[in-house]
């Protein structure tokens, strides 16, 4: 008989999880005790209610961990998410307050450990998790998700063609599943999450011999009933007009097209694009689409300060974002703009993702700088600092 193992993650919630395990259970438990522990600590530091933590972590243990395969080693295939090939990315989200941050993460559920030799671009493991989310999430709708699978997933091709696309793309991640973890339960069996899916356009671009931007805009224009949402098309046109004035390199920097699991009239489409230029002014020009997106001027100095504070150079006289590496390398982390397109807004809503680890001395400098920035602009309103939270989580 296999040994009985007690989960430390669920023990912390007062839940008895002593179970008899098989080899597959032990592989799953590795992920529970590593990534599950990280998420449990993050939820605890963010003061999530105990029942919310238990509901989410039980789902994570029972449905996500079993899809992650064996414990990674130096011979494991690499994900496109982390710069080291890791298949996870975590974050805290602050919305005007530091007291109760939200917890978010993305996970690559591709068949990486071991690789699916017959169908290396399979999304079967991701689909198992998405199907469970669909059963237990209020308002779930996968209409646009299914359409985007048709545009971006090439698991139907012969394995030789799939391997050629993987070689051209530099990775084998057909999609990433993202989770925003809510702070309250909305129904007895409902999951406290908002799920989304991120599609890299690399495989579609390689298969059709087009730019990644062309792959994304073609996929959007082919969505079911997209003509019923003129604001989305107007937002897309605004980005198209901007890119038409720029060198072709700009079109190669598209990282993801993401969608929520909501009905088309409520879902958002988010386009993630790397910045070709290295300076802050290059970033600002992209963020505003050369002034096409109005009403953002008050953000400019805030962003300039954010970059300098996180680098530990708040007294610097010239802000450089960072040296820009290749726009198409899978595991490079670099400054990224994302544009949110929705039926409610006539123009794209932009956000910037900075990656200060490319220039800051260490993580402590980054966290301390972010705390300074949050205080300067009135976001810090009590509770632990980000540095304290990270010290307790990591």
**C-alpha closest to that of 151 among 219, 236, 226:** 219
- Give the three-class secondary structure for 346: coil
Task: Quote the Cα angle for 370-375-376, to 5°.
Answer: 95
**C-alpha closest to that of 79 among 41, 25, 35:** 35
Which of 158-164's residues contact partners 24+ apart within 8 Å by CB, and which partners? 159/117, 159/118, 159/119, 159/120, 162/119, 162/120, 162/121, 163/120
pLDDT at 358: 79
Using CA atoms in the order 79, 81, 83, 89, what is the torsion angle rounded to 10 degrees? -120
Residues 6+ apart with CB under 8 A from 118: 159
CA distance 353 to 336: 5
Q: What region, left, alpha or beta, does residue 5 occupy, with left being phi > 0 and alpha being psi -120 to 50 degrees?
A: beta
Residue written as token pair 């300098």: 308
Our measurement of the distance from residue 98's CA atom to the centroid of its chain's CA atoms, rounded to an integer in Å, reads 21
Residue written as token pair 């969608």: 259
Query: Can you give the length of the chain in residues?
Result: 394
SS (H, E, C) 267-324: CCEEEEEECCCCEHHHHHHHHHCCCCCCCCHHHHHHHHHHHHHHHCCCCCCCCECCCC
- 192 phi and psi angles, rounded to 5 deg: -85, 60
Buried b (16+ CB within 10 A) or exposed e, 190-229: bbbbbbbbbbbbbbbbbbeeebbbbbbbebbeebeebeeb
pLDDT at 326: 61
Contact call for residues 361 and 370 (beta carbons, < 8 A): no
The DSSP letter of residue 182 is P
Please name the helix (run of DSSP H) or strand (run of DSSP E) that holds residue 250, with its range, or none.
helix 249-252
Our measurement of the distance from residue 262's CA atom to the centroid of its chain's CA atoms, rounded to an integer in Å, reads 17
Query: Got the DSSP string for 14-34?
Result: T----EE--HHHHHHHHHIII
Residue written as token pair 């123009």: 347
pLDDT at 259: 98
CA distance 47 to 101: 8
Counting beta carbons within 10 angstroms of the beta carbon of residue 85, is it exposed (0 to 12), middle (13 to 18) or buried (19 or more)? middle
CA distance 69 to 71: 7
Walk along the chain (394 residues) and give the pLDDT tens digit of each residue.
333 333 555 565 554 444 434 456 778 899 999 999 999 999 999 999 999 999 999 999 999 999 999 998 888 888 988 877 889 999 999 887 778 899 999 999 998 888 899 999 999 999 999 999 999 999 999 999 999 999 999 999 999 999 999 999 999 999 999 999 999 998 888 999 999 999 999 999 999 999 999 999 999 999 999 999 999 999 999 999 999 999 998 999 999 999 999 999 999 999 999 988 778 999 999 999 999 999 999 999 999 999 899 988 654 444 444 545 566 565 566 789 999 999 999 999 999 988 888 778 888 999 999 999 999 998 888 778 888 988 888 7
Our measurement of the distance from residue 265's CA atom to the centroid of its chain's CA atoms, rounded to an integer in Å, reads 22
Contact call for residues 7 and 32 (beta carbons, < 8 A): yes
pLDDT at 317: 42
Our measurement of the distance from residue 113's CA atom to the centroid of its chain's CA atoms, rounded to an integer in Å, reads 21
CA distance 210 to 116: 27
pLDDT at 330: 58
CA distance 140 to 153: 21
């Amino acid at each position: 008989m296999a040994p009985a193992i007690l989960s430390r993650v669920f023990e912390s919630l007062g839940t008895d999880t002593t179970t008899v395990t098989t080899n597959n259970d032990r592989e799953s438990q590795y992920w529970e005790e590593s990534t599950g522990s990280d998420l449990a600590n993050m939820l605890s530091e963010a003061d999530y209610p105990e029942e919310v933590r238990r509901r989410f972590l039980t789902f994570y243990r029972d449905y996500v961990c079993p899809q992650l395969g064996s414990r990674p080693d130096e011979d494991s295939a690499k994900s496109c998410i982390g710069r080291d090939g890791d298949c996870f990315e975590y974050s805290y989200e602050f919305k005007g307050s530091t007291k109760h941050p939200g917890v978010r993460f993305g996970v690559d559920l591709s068949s990486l450990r071991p690789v699916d030799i017959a169908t290396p671009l399979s999304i079967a493991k991701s689909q198992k998790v998405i199907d469970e989310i669909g059963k237990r999430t209020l308002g779930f709708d996968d209409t646009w998700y299914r359409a985007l699978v048709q545009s971006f997933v090439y698991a139907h091709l012969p394995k030789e063609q799939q391997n050629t696309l993987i070689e051209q793309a530099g990775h084998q991640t057909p999609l990433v599943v993202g989770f925003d973890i809510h702070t309250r339960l909305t129904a007895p069996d409902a999951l406290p999450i908002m799920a989304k899916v991120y599609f890299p356009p690399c495989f579609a671009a390689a298969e059709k011999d087009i730019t990644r931007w062309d792959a994304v805009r073609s996929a959007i224009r082919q969505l079911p009933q997209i003509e019923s949402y003129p604001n989305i098309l107007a937002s897309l046109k605004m980005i198209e007009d901007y890119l038409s004035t720029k060198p072709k390199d700009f079109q190669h920097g598209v990282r993801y097209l993401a969608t929520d699991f909501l009905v088309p009239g409520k879902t958002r489409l988010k386009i993630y694009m790397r910045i070709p230029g290295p300076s802050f002014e290059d970033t600002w020009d992209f963020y505003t689409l050369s002034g096409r997106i109005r009403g953002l001027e008050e953000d400019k100095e805030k962003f300039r300060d954010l970059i300098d504070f996180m680098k530990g150079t708040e007294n610097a006289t010239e802000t450089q974002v960072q040296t820009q590496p290749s726009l198409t390398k899978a595991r490079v982390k670099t400054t990224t703009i994302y544009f949110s397109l929705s039926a409610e807004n006539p123009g794209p809503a932009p956000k910037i993702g900075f990656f200060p680890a490319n220039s800051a001395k260490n993580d402590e400098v980054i966290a301390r700088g972010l705390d300074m920035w949050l205080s300067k602009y009135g976001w810090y309103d009590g509770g632990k600092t980000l540095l304290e939270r990270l010290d307790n989580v990591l």
